[in-house]
């Protein structure tokens, strides 16, 4: 007699796991560069159905885990790119990073599916817990709010809802809307269509409203397009620096010239003459630039503003660092034992964190600006944690993220911060996307991705009055989440095999 193969309870084999993973991956087509929200939203309904289909808690765990792994694996496929900047040192880690990212983040969805199976209303229980773990994922272990379900609407009019309830609120509302056809096929589908249609209509009307009076300032956004694997080569560093000086000096000097993250390959502490070279090229006008700074054996990833004869007028140190990219957990031990250090840090084994977000006052003409360095733009809470600026400035080096998906996803999340806060956002990137975004997320000026050059801007859109999200934050999301929790406990739904 042929022995039977043992499998986990409720888990019927790799074929089912593959279907679950495909259901999760179908949601990711909403993300840049595809932005196919009209395909991803039906995919979300499918994924929710797959997670509520197993009849046991163990089966729900497996379904949630593979749906989550498919979603995060497809969405965050760019995670392997940093490992190939220096492939001889880090390349062997790429497949492990891909698998661990997908299945590691998939654990959040597995927990939601397994615990949701114990709720009286299993579908609403799953939706409530998925929304809760997505909120948790944005804060636990320093937070990783990339790939939120609410990001599904980016590129569609529904994204304007972020001005009301933020990205977290969009996540809660999106999961609830997707659950309606599962709760009641006929009326649920009608209710879902009405909810999505209303959100589309609101977004279209808000997006079409005329802009306010623009701020009359000239900006020059420099995109050097430096290849990451050559950026710190001494010869390439000199060529890169000269290229940016040339772009800064051409034509009439701008009121403010902006260079991207870590654009300067030198340290002002050891080469103070560099500051004068930069402001000489700008005609003495201010230049905001990404540069590392050091004190003793500590280093920071910073934005610094120079003007006049190279005078340093403002400094901002990035405080929300990228785990494994800018600092290594147990970094000294990993470096001493294995020679592993953070990818981006060129001083010591890792960067030090700055003191926190701050608004820089650049004078009456340029106004007050909130600087964000790279990864900080994916956190909706940062712009709300300080006094309201006139505009947001993000400098970034997206060469780490490859050329297919990562830079474009990062750009879309920066747009979402502008919509949430009702503030214009200027984004200056090493390889792109370099652009100017108005307070409703419209791209008013942009440089093509992967090009070398600069972008001159003659005016900057005025800030809108503070949006409901800017005033109240995630309270609307918490209220929606609490309401779902109450509904999920309200009645017992017959079990479906």
Q: What is the mean pLDDT of the chain?
A: 91
pLDDT digits (tens, 9 = 90+) for 231-263: 778 888 899 999 999 999 999 999 999 999 999
Residues 205-220: b if buried by 16+ CB within 10 A, e if exposed: ebeeeeeeeebebbbb
Catalytic residue among 159, 261, 326, 376: 261
Count of C-beta atoms within a 10 Å radius of residue 490: 11
* 46 token code pair: 């499918």
> The sheet that has 256-258: what strands, in order across it?
311-317, 298-307, 287-295, 256-258, 219-223, 453-457
Residue 332: pLDDT over 80: no
pLDDT tens profile 457-467: 999 999 999 99
242 catalytic per annotation: no
The answer to whether 365 is a known catalytic residue is no
Q: Any idea which of 30-39, 164-173, 225-234, 442-451 has the lowest mean pLDDT?
A: 225-234
- pLDDT, residue 451, reads 96
φ/ψ of 306, rounded to 5, equals -115, 150
Q: Residue 248 in contact with residue 282, Cβ under 8 Å?
A: yes
318 noted as active-site residue:
yes
Cα of 85 vs its chain's centroid, Å: 21
Choosing from 134, 318, 376, 440, which is the catalytic residue? 318
- Cα angle 76, 436, 434 (rounded to 5 degrees) comes to 50
Catalytic residue among 134, 231, 326, 374: 374
Question: Collapsing DSSP states into helix, strand and coil, what is residue 385?
Answer: coil
């Amino acid at each position: 007699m042929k022995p039977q193969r043992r499998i986990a309870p409720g888990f019927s084999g790799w074929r089912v796991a593959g279907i679950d993973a495909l259901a999760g991956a179908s949601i990711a087509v909403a993300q840049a560069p595809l932005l196919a929200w009209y395909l991803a939203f039906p995919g979300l309904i499918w994924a929710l159905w797959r997670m509520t289909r197993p009849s046991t808690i163990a089966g729900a765990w497996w379904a949630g885990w593979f749906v989550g792994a498919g979603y995060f694996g497809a969405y965050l496929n760019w995670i392997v790119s940093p490992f190939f900047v220096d492939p001889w040192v880090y390349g062997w880690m790429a497949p492990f990073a891909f698998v661990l990212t997908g299945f590691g983040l998939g654990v959040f969805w597995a927990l939601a599916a397994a615990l949701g199976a114990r709720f009286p209303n299993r579908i609403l229980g799953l939706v409530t817990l998925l929304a809760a773990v997505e909120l948790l994922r944005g804060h636990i272990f320093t937070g990783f709010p990339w790939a939120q379900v609410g990001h599904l609407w980016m590129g569609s009019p529904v994204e304007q809802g972020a001005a009301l309830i933020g990205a977290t609120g969009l996540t809660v509302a999106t999961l609830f809307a997707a659950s309606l056809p599962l709760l009641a096929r006929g009326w649920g589908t009608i209710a879902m269509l009405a909810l999505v249609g209303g959100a589309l209509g609101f977004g279209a009307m808000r997006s079409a409203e005329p802009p306010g009076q623009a701020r009359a300032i000239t900006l020059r956004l420099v995109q050097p397009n430096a290849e990451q694997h050559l950026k710190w080569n001494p010869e390439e560093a000199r060529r890169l620096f000269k290229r940016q000086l040339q772009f800064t000096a051409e034509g009439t000097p701008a009121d403010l010239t902006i260079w991207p993250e870590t654009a300067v390959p030198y340290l002002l502490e050891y080469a103070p003459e560099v500051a004068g070279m930069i402001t000489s090229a700008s005609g003495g006008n201010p230049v905001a630039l990404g540069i590392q700074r050091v004190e003793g054996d500590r280093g920071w990833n910073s934005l610094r503003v120079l003007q006049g004869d190279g005078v340093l007028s403002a400094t901002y140190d990035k405080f929300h660092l990228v785990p494994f990219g800018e600092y290594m957990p147990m970094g000294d031990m990993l470096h001493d034992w294995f020679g592993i250090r953070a990818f981006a840090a060129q001083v010591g084994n890792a960067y030090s964190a700055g003191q926190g977000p701050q608004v820089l006052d650049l004078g009456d003409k340029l106004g007050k600006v909130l600087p964000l360095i790279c990864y900080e733009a994916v956190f909706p809470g940062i712009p709300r944690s300080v006094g309201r600026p006139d505009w947001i400035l993000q400098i970034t080096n997206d060469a780490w993220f490859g050329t297919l998906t990562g830079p474009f996803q990062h750009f879309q999340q920066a747009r979402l911060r502008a919509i949430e806060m009702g503030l214009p956002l200027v984004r200056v990137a090493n390889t792109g996307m370099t652009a100017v975004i108005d307070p409703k997320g419209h791209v008013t000026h942009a440089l093509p991705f992967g090009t070398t050059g600069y972008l001159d801007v003659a005016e900057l859109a005025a800030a809108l009055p503070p949006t409901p999200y800017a005033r109240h934050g995630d309270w609307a999301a918490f209220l929606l989440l609490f309401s779902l929790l109450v509904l999920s406990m309200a009645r017992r739904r017959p079990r479906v095999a």
